[in-house]
Amino acid sequence: MKSFQTFVETYNYLVTVFLMVAGLYVVIARGNMIKKLIGLSLFQTSVYLLYLAPAKIDGGTAPILDAAYTVYSNPLPHVLILTAIVVGVATLALGLALVVRVHEAYGTIDEDEIFAESEEP
């Protein structure tokens, strides 16, 4: 049962790594630009999990000062991830705007098709 215990203890990290690798795979393996952006979002989500899951301290309560409690969960990673989420949203919005422009310019949003018909540098 040792391996099951290890699995439960490291479960959040396993999910993080799975999402990370799945996201990167989608970015690399798919030619459709919107799918690449979705893979990128998936990849960024795994990072949020990497920061947030360890923020919960064993036996910690909500981080509001009170005389009755001594152990609090760590609020700093939540603040960091709020920033990272906003950055991710901005990147996604910019990426989608670029995809719309590429579609207008090339008529397609598949990278392989675009490279096939593009001029040589």
Partner 1 sequence: MTAIQPHLPILIVLLPLAAALVSAFFRRGAGAWALAMGVSALLPWMAGTMLWTVVRSGEPLSYALGGWAPPWGIEYRVDVLNAFVLTLVTAVGAVIMPYARRSVAREVHEHQQAWFYTMYLLCLTGLLGIAVTGDAFNAFVFLEISSLSTYVLIALGRDRRAVLSSFQYLIMGTIGATFYVIGIGLLYLVTGTLNMADLGARLGPAYATYPRPVLTALAFVVVGVCLKLALFPLHVWLPGAYASAPSVATTFLAGTATKVALYLLVRLLFTVFGIGITFRALPMTAVLLVLAVAGMVLASFSAAMQRDAKRLLAYSSVAQIGYVTFGIGLANANGLTGGLVHLANHAVIKTTLFLALGAVYYRIGSVRLEHLAGIGRVMPWTMATFVVGGLGLIGVPGTAGFISKWYLALGAIDAGLWPLAFVLVITSFLAVVYVGRVVEVAYFHEPSGPARDATDPPWSMLVSMLAAAGATIYFGFDTRATAEVAGMAARLLLGGRE
Partner 2 sequence: MRLDVLLRIGAKLVLPFILLFALYVHFHGEYGPGGGFQAGVIIAAAVILYAIVFGMAAAERAVPVRWLERMIPAGVLIYLSAGVPALFTGRRFLDYSALGADAAVGHARGILWIETGVLITVASTMIAIFYAFAGRGRS
Residue (of 51, 58, 94, 86) closest to 73 by Cα position: 58
Q: Is 89 in the site for partner 1 (CB under 8 A)?
A: no
For the record, the structure tokens of 77 come out as: 């990673």
Q: What is the DSSP letter of 120?
A: P
Minimum CB separation from partner 2 for residue 55, in Å?
Answer: 14
Q: Is 34 in the site for partner 1 (CB under 8 A)?
A: no
Residue (of 50, 53, 64) closest to 16 by Cα position: 50
Please list every residue from 87 through 106 that binds partner 2, using CB under 8 A.
Answer: 93, 96-97, 100, 104
Indicate which of partner 1, partner 2, none lies near residue 27 (CB less than 5 to 8 Å, by partner kind).
partner 1
Query: Do the Cβ atoms of 42 and 23 come closer than 8 Å?
Result: yes
| Count of residues engaged in binding partner 2, rule: CB under 8 A | 8
Indicate which of partner 1, partner 2, none lies near residue 32 (CB less than 5 to 8 Å, by partner kind).
none
